[in-house]
Amino acid sequence: MTDFRYLIIGGGMTADAAARGIREADAKGSIGIISSEPHPPYARPPLSKALWKGEPEDAIWKHTETAGVELHLGRRVTAIHPQQKSVTDDRGKAVSYDKLLLATGGTPRRLALPSEQIIYYRTYDDYRRLRALANEKLKFLVLGGGFIGSEVAAALRMAGREVTMLIPEDGIGARVFPADLSHFLVDYYREQGVDVRSGEGLASLSQSAGKVIVKTTKGKEIPVDVIVAGLGIQPNVEIAEQAGVRVENGIVVDEMLRTNVPDVFAAGDVANFYNPQLGARMRVEHEDNANSMGAAAGRSMAGTGTPYTHLPFFYSDLFQLGYEAVGELDPRLQTESDWKEPFREGVVYYLKDSRVRGVLLWNTWGQVDNARSLIGKAGHLVAG
């Protein structure tokens, strides 16, 4: 049996941040990371953003080993034994811990048709595969108009490829943006040469003559070479449930990022935490939360933690447009827009009972802290 003072399950940005958070308080305690990925921790956002704009691949690596971490890659934990304070991996190896962090992330939702021509875009290997295919004159179809779908469609089109987007909602980013902005993005993407099919979902998939035949809810058939499915993720909670950890839309943690099982913590995409500024529990699948929450979990594991009250922000690049956002972005809320140039530069406020719940900074940079402060002021009202 291998013994670690701190054991982390998962090998993403959260795991790297947690290891560094531990090292802030404990310079010598042994840290182990068990990850199903074959690669050490890396930054995930560049896979659908910066790498397509020329950033070198070497820039994504987190160099977690420099924190004195023992990496066990290509391994999957199959069971946690809280009473024995140990885990078992898929090779039957037992690993013991004093403190355990579940940074297991999520798994992309999958389609019913098993096919090598469908890419569930999430990992570095997915990027390498899609980048190679983008060098060929193939026809691509992107399913979904959320974060991954909108970014990948833009990346493929900037690479000069033929791209169709199939979006069941009425617009791009319709679950986040107000309707007028979402509809603008449909026209904007069409201007960039993307065939956007909004309000049109997937009815069925089949394969014929080397193509995937996509049948839409409007009865149309679209033959394509490659499908990129941006259907969101399911949090990886199976081993947590097996260990008796409380699960509800992810792994439930307290303000110190502890689960209900002693000495077991959780952070990142998989963790359901309470945010005092919004007065609500939330689970956030973005880089800022992965890094800040991972570091906070590491400090908590090492005994120097403070309550996790951070309100994460997120960001995206869409051709020549981009944004940063913080708080609750739900188009069902009341929204007020302050445009310098309509849909090109401005700020959108999301309100409930006349109080700011979220702020979208559209092509407006360097204002995240101000936006976060606005949300943090209890009872703050938008002027006018």
Q: Which residues are CB-neighbours of 25 under 8 A, at least 6 positions away? A: 298, 299, 302, 303, 304
Share of the chain above pLDDT 90, in %: 93
The beta-carbon contacts of 46-54 under 8 Å, at least 24 apart in sequence, are 47/121, 47/123, 47/124, 47/126, 47/127, 48/121, 48/127, 48/148, 48/151, 48/152, 48/155, 49/151, 49/155, 49/316, 49/317, 51/127, 51/131, 52/131, 52/155, 52/158, 52/159, 53/158, 53/317
pTM: 0.94
List the single range of 111-120, 166-175, 321-330, 370-379 with lowest mean pLDDT: 370-379
Pair 53, 296: CB distance under 8 Å: no
pLDDT over 70, % of the chain: 97
pLDDT-derived band at 382, boundaries 50, 70, 90:
low
- Whether residue 363 contacts residue 338, with contact meaning beta carbons closer than 8 Å, is answered with no
Lowest mean pLDDT among 41-50, 144-153, 373-382: 373-382
Domains of the chain: 2-50+61-106+234-301 (3.50.50.60), 110-229 (3.50.50.60), 320-376 (3.30.390.30)
Q: Is the pLDDT of residue 384 over 50?
A: no
- Alpha carbons within 13 A on the beta-carbon side of 375: 29
pLDDT of residue 294: 98
Is 80 exceeded by the pLDDT of residue 380?
no
| CA diameter of the chain | 65
**What confidence category does residue 353 fall into, taking pLDDT thresholds of 50, 70 and 90?**
confident
- The residues near 7 (Cβ < 8 Å, ≥ 6 apart) are 31, 32, 33, 34, 87, 95, 96, 97, 99, 100, 101
Q: Kindly tell me if the per-residue pLDDT of 381 is higher than 80.
A: no
| pLDDT in the model for residue 114 | 84
Q: Which residues pair with 11 in a beta bridge?
A: none
- The whole-number average pLDDT for the span 185-204 is 97
Confidence of residue 377 (pLDDT cuts 50, 70, 90): low
Mean pLDDT across the stretch 372-382? 71
pLDDT tops 90 at residue 81: yes
Q: What percentage of the chain's residues is helix, strand, coil (to nearest 5)? A: 25, 35, 40
For residue range 203-232, what is the model confidence (pLDDT) as tens digits?
999 999 999 999 999 999 999 999 999 999
Whole-number pLDDT of residue 2: 86
